[in-house]
Amino acid sequence: MVHHDAPGAPGGHRADSLNDMLFDHLTLDARTTIFQHFWEQSEACTTGIDLDALRGCVRILPSSGQDVLYAKVQVAILNRMPQESHNADRLYIIADICMANMRLGSSIFCHIHDYLKRISLIIRDIKNNHVLEEDLRNVIAYLNFIKSSYWWGPDRPQYITHDVIQVLVDLVGHHILDAHVQDTLSALISLTKSPVAILRDPELTYSSCSTSSSKEGTAAVREALIGQQLWTRLRDLPLTYFGQESSKCFRTWFQWCHHATIWNTDLDAIYDPLYWSILRVGFLSGYSEQRKYCLGILRLSIDIACRDIETPLMVVRIDQRSRYRAQYGKYVSLYQTIVLDRYVNQVQACLPDLTNLLGTSSVINPGWTMVLLSSALNPKVQDGVRKVVGNWYMDFIANAGGPVIEHEQFIVEGLLPWATQGSLFTSSLTSYRGRATCSTHGDILADVISRSVGGMPTQVSRRNLFAGVLQFVLDRNGRLFQYSIVYLLKGLMLALKGLPTSCADMDRHGMELLGQVSRLPGLPEIASDLCFAYCGILMHQILEANPSLTVPGFEEMTSRLYSLQVQNTHALSSPIREADLSLPDLQNITTVQQFLESLRNSAHRLIQGSSFAHACDILINILASGCPNRPELKNIVEILEALWDEAERQEFRRPVAVAIPALFFHRELIQLCEDTTNEATDEALTPLLIKVMNRIRELSEGRTYLLSVLVGSVRNASLIEHQTISRFPFEDFLFQFINSPPLPKKEFLFEIAAGEMLQSLYANRSYEFYYGKREWHAYAGVIDLLNRFPESQIETAKRTLRRLIEPWRIQKYPVPVISRWKNAFQLQCMLVLTESCISESDASWYLESFMAALVLEAWPRYRYLLEWIISRIYYRFPFLVNRILSDLIKLDETVPIHTASLMKLAVLAALFLHSEEYTLQLVTQLVSFSANPKIQIRHEAQWNFPIIWELAESKNWTSITSNPAFSALNDYIRKLDKFSNPPPTIRTLKLDAVRDYTLVNIFQGKYLALETPDHQYATYEDFKDIWEDDLRAEYNVPPARIPLGVPDHLSANSIAVSNNHEAMVGSAPDFTPAPLQTKTGFDLNILLPNGGPPSAVQRRPASVVLIASLIDNPMNLGGLSRISESFGLEALYINDLKHTSTKDFQSTAVTSHKHLPIRELRVSAVPDFLLDMRKQGYEIVAIEQTDRSGILGEDIPLADNVTIQKEEHTNKSSGTLPRKCVLVLGSEKGGVSAEVLAVVNRCVEIRTVGVTRSLNVQTAGGIAVYEWWREWGGKA
């Protein structure tokens, strides 16, 4: 018996023919005996189907008669087929075996058809598609079998009828069977590209199927497919089916459209509005593969149309088909670039085309533009792309004055989910001294909503968008950045405000939604009031347009809105609740004893809940009336402890925490602490106040609204009763505050912004109404305390200064330019403390410490402050100045920045020393530095020389002014552009260590605005407020050591501190639309599935093997990997697979090595490997320059119009690469070795025309592979 080769194997068909000849001459008994042999062999197999045995059984079956044998084989195949269901290659062979016998094949297919039809009826009749698991397994197996039979193509007769197609179509949509059905339909559509022999009767033989009948049968199948069968089923499916991962359905749909264009057949479906609605769902819900199919369907559907399309989502005029094709072609390119490729730079380049897409000349239906934008803003797209597209759209709406038609659904479903992300608000949040705290993104969003609602073309669309925005807020159910609600409502309010009264008419549904939004829980205090105010204003605007509307609860809303307008009671103290009215009248309590009795009688209800802050106010009034007498001290301690326990129980709510400092650090209580004759003071009161001070300070680090009331109370206590500083932990308090000055957190800045917006509506509702003074009043209070530190407590200030300077002093090289623990406020406070804390005895130590910090510091603003501090030490202790010039002369110039600082210190000293001798020495030294080769030293000297010259002229120091060399240098420097127009840098700021030494210049100076702006912790106005408060309270505070100074308002206005650490991606500048760069081409043919089993589909498209074993450079190997994968080579061979894990390899390979077979082939094994490949039919070609190398891509000229063909042999090799080819590349230096050249078939070289004779091996490999594709690509 001749062995039966697998289908497609070499010699397989010759063996089949030989077997058929042998079987035809066997007697009936012999055939029965042979059949029995194969049947027993088949029955003995327990793991599926024995393919060889089955093939033998089928071959021996007679063409007629023997029904029992046919039935036996059919039953065996059908029963065992489910075991083979997941092995596509084996099903492929089984299908071939069955179709080899027309009678058997038809019988099996008829049985499968009947079975599938029965199951489809069950699925249709039974609720929830409930089918037995065994039936489902059988259906899946039969579907996979049918698919495998279709893979054989038109070379085999196929059992295809209208009923078969209908059964397959009916199974579409079943949650388990759908993927298998779609694969089967896909294979069927691919099959019908060419004429197919159709089996209709089990007795029909292959020989009777004429070509004409094949064409007629194929036409019938095409008519069934292209007709309404497939579309009728698709339109009956719910939209939710297409919203799931259903890429296979869209693949089938795409093939259906593609074949309709080939067959030049009009599809009735494309004129159905549901067709385009389903396609829209596919775009919005699918992944990359599904969206590519949708793009293909969109393009093909326009080509298919034979008459005008008039649907809500698609309009096509046939007489302008070319225009529609061009614009929808551009749409496809935009969608691919923005949504599928997602390279940010390419997306930015698309923005002009997006603008044109929404222009008046565009024929693109707005619905498809919204599909593109919605897909681009999908959360699965990376943030960079979403930000570019989202900001472009908002900018477009702002510039266009409102949206075009049909944008309302996109705004609610596409734009708002992206635009309300918290990161967009926080990244654009800015906080300016003297300006409003705002979120740029929030303001733009409000403007977009305003323009969108106001720009809607009809009242219905305006109502829909108005209600849609409100419903969006409610549907999020708290899963929304809270402050985004504020900006959305602001936009709605501005929209109705800008409309005529008649156009602001909203329906009852919109009013009800407003009521629900106004009652949203969980918003911060100011944001909650602001949202309510916006909702109330919107309701009044709507009622003005439609007075007949009534909304439940509107009266209560109006009452609360009125209270927002007129209430002037400070919100820092919560009002008494109605439930507290039964408590004793707090206003009648005038003594500590009465307060304690009421506290005890009410079981502490007197201070519970919202009564806490009011009780604190009453107690403050009692203390203000006079110092308690001795018997009441114990009672006061009991009351304070009760209040503190209650504050802890309430977890320091805002009204509670704000009320504590003013009471616990009241002047009378502080004075009691100073009474050392009372034991109760040391045992109870002082420890309690220390605990309160530490706890409130900890809370203030996260709640900056506590800073002003805490620092104000503590400062007053320390300046009135100086002993408080030593009795309380002031050193730790000051050190921690200065070292890490608390700043408002991002989320609280939004509350500040909300306060400013609310104040613009109601002047009485300011930030101060809710939270008191801003945090910069606390900064000013601490600074003023340092400036007025009592002499009796100066040791505390000295210890604080030592602790502050220590980390600066002990730094080690190298020092990072930016360090988290450093800030300008530390140096500013040290500059203030140097005036009172440095004595003559420790001046040298401080000078060395600050000089050590200056030598290592790199940040210009910190160097500026350090130089100012050091110059103040020199000013106060002039005997130390002489060391400056000596240090300057001896200094090593290898550190130019340090030399520049010493020059500046020397100049600053000259301004207050008034010494002609010192200044002359300095000028002489500056002359040499002015010609220094180090640019930093030279520029510093040239910048300072005119300053010294002006000083000498004002003092009439002729030893300097009469020197012609000095005079000439001064004239030369003043003519330089960099002197007349100095760059705005901290280094070029002029400083006078004496005259500029004011609080305003230290904390509000220009140096804070230059280069990277820094925080202005306190300003002139803050200090004035504090001093005015001292005057009103008649506090006798110590005098200030540093004057306040006069602010430079121009400088102050220019200083702005931004909390925006991430720049917003704004809209791209205007570009002229240009060709779009894409990373991947969009070829419709690529989307068509490849038929055949996995083993055939996975075959690489190019029959080329690349040998790179002689190459050592991983970067070159990575490039060759990318080339090999891009052009579909069979495999790449390299010397060592370890190369693939190197950084150099992966930098050029990108990810190509993950999709390409890369195998190891040692250099020594290359010759033997090539000889083996030659035996397998490959031709070996080396890319090398030899005396016999052909020119790549050229045949050898023999005579006029005559060439030597590839198979002819001459001394010069042909330059045309063979179809089945092994390309060998040589090493970077040595090329192809002699051992390898000895086994190659021929060599080719690449023609070059420049001076350089050789190419990089990567480049050479790429040229050779491309030349192969040029020659053989696409050829049969």
Provide the CB-side half-sphere exposure for 577 (13 A, CA).
10
Taking the C-alpha atoms of residue 606 and residue 586, their distance in angstroms, rounded to an integer, is: 9
Average pLDDT estimate for 982-1002:
91
Reported as a single tens digit per residue, the pLDDT across 1184-1212 is 988 888 999 887 654 444 444 444 444 55
Is 60 exceeded by the pLDDT of residue 583?
no
pLDDT band for 126, please (50, 70, 90 cuts): low
Taking the C-alpha atoms of residue 984 and residue 1181, their distance in angstroms, rounded to an integer, is: 66
Beta bridge partners of 438: 430
Q: How far is CA 293 from CA 175, 192, 287, 385, in A?
A: 21, 20, 10, 22
The DSSP secondary-structure symbol of 1011 reads S
Helices (H), 1215-1272: 1234-1237, 1257-1272
Taking the C-alpha atoms of residue 120 and residue 957, their distance in angstroms, rounded to an integer, is: 112
Q: Considering the chain, what is the average pLDDT of its residues?
A: 84
Q: What is the pLDDT of residue 1022?
A: 94
Taking the C-alpha atoms of residue 107 and residue 89, their distance in angstroms, rounded to an integer, is: 22
Reported as a single tens digit per residue, the pLDDT across 1115-1156 is 999 999 999 998 889 999 999 999 999 999 999 998 899 889
pLDDT band for 459, please (50, 70, 90 cuts): confident
What is the 3 state secondary structure string of 116-169?
A: HHHHHHHHHHCHHHCCCHHHHHHHHHHHHHHHHHHHCHHHCCECCCHHHHHHHH
The DSSP secondary-structure symbol of 1214 reads P
- By the 10 Å C-beta count (0-12 exposed, 13-18 middle, 19+ buried), 799 is classed as middle
Q: Is 1054 left (phi over 0), alpha (psi -120 to 50) or beta?
A: alpha
Q: What is the pLDDT of residue 100?
A: 82
Tokens at 155, concatenated? 């070379």
Reported as a single tens digit per residue, the pLDDT across 208-230 is 333 334 555 566 666 656 567 88
Is 50 exceeded by the pLDDT of residue 739?
yes
Domain ranges for the chain: 61-237, 243-382, 401-557, 569-703, 1100-1272
The most confident of 221-230, 252-261, 503-512, by mean pLDDT: 252-261
Query: What is the CB neighbour count within 10 angstroms for residue 949?
Result: 23
The most confident of 345-354, 522-531, 576-585, 821-830, by mean pLDDT: 821-830
Q: What is the pLDDT of residue 1261?
A: 94
Tokens at 815, concatenated? 């020092």
Reported as a single tens digit per residue, the pLDDT across 231-245 is 888 989 998 889 877
Please give the angle made by the CA atoms of 620, 623 and 627, to the nearest 5 degrees: 165
Nearest to 1014 by CA among 1057, 973, 1053: 1057
Is 80 exceeded by the pLDDT of residue 190?
yes
Element (H, E) at 248: helix 247-262
pLDDT band for 816, please (50, 70, 90 cuts): confident
Q: Is 890 left (phi over 0), alpha (psi -120 to 50) or beta?
A: alpha
CATH number of 1100-1272: 3.40.1280.10
Q: How far is CA 1196 from CA 868, 1185, 1211, in A?
A: 84, 16, 10
Reported as a single tens digit per residue, the pLDDT across 59-98 is 887 766 677 888 888 888 888 888 888 888 888 888 888 8
Is 50 exceeded by the pLDDT of residue 720?
yes
- Which has the minimum average pLDDT: 143-157, 403-417, 497-511, 978-992? 497-511
Cα 25 to the chain's mean position, in Å? Answer: 75
Taking the C-alpha atoms of residue 904 and residue 867, their distance in angstroms, rounded to an integer, is: 8
Taking the C-alpha atoms of residue 14 and residue 25, their distance in angstroms, rounded to an integer, is: 18
Taking the C-alpha atoms of residue 876 and residue 840, their distance in angstroms, rounded to an integer, is: 9
Taking the C-alpha atoms of residue 157 and residue 150, their distance in angstroms, rounded to an integer, is: 10
Beta bridge partners of 218: none
Cα torsion 115, 116, 118, 124 to 10°: value is 160
Reported as a single tens digit per residue, the pLDDT across 379-437 is 989 999 999 999 999 999 888 765 666 788 899 999 999 999 999 999 998 887 767 78
Taking the C-alpha atoms of residue 713 and residue 722, their distance in angstroms, rounded to an integer, is: 14
Q: What is the pLDDT of residue 1205?
A: 44
Q: What is the pLDDT of residue 1054?
A: 39
Taking the C-alpha atoms of residue 285 and residue 923, their distance in angstroms, rounded to an integer, is: 77
Nearest to 452 by CA among 486, 496, 418: 496
Tokens at 1252, concatenated? 């350089």
Is 70 exceeded by the pLDDT of residue 1266?
yes
CB 192 within 8 A of CB 218: yes
Taking the C-alpha atoms of residue 448 and residue 438, their distance in angstroms, rounded to an integer, is: 16
Residues in Cβ contact with 213 at an 8 Å cutoff, skipping those fewer than 6 apart: 197, 198
Query: What is the CB neighbour count within 10 angstroms for residue 516?
Result: 13
Q: What is the pLDDT of residue 586?
A: 62
Taking the C-alpha atoms of residue 650 and residue 355, their distance in angstroms, rounded to an integer, is: 56
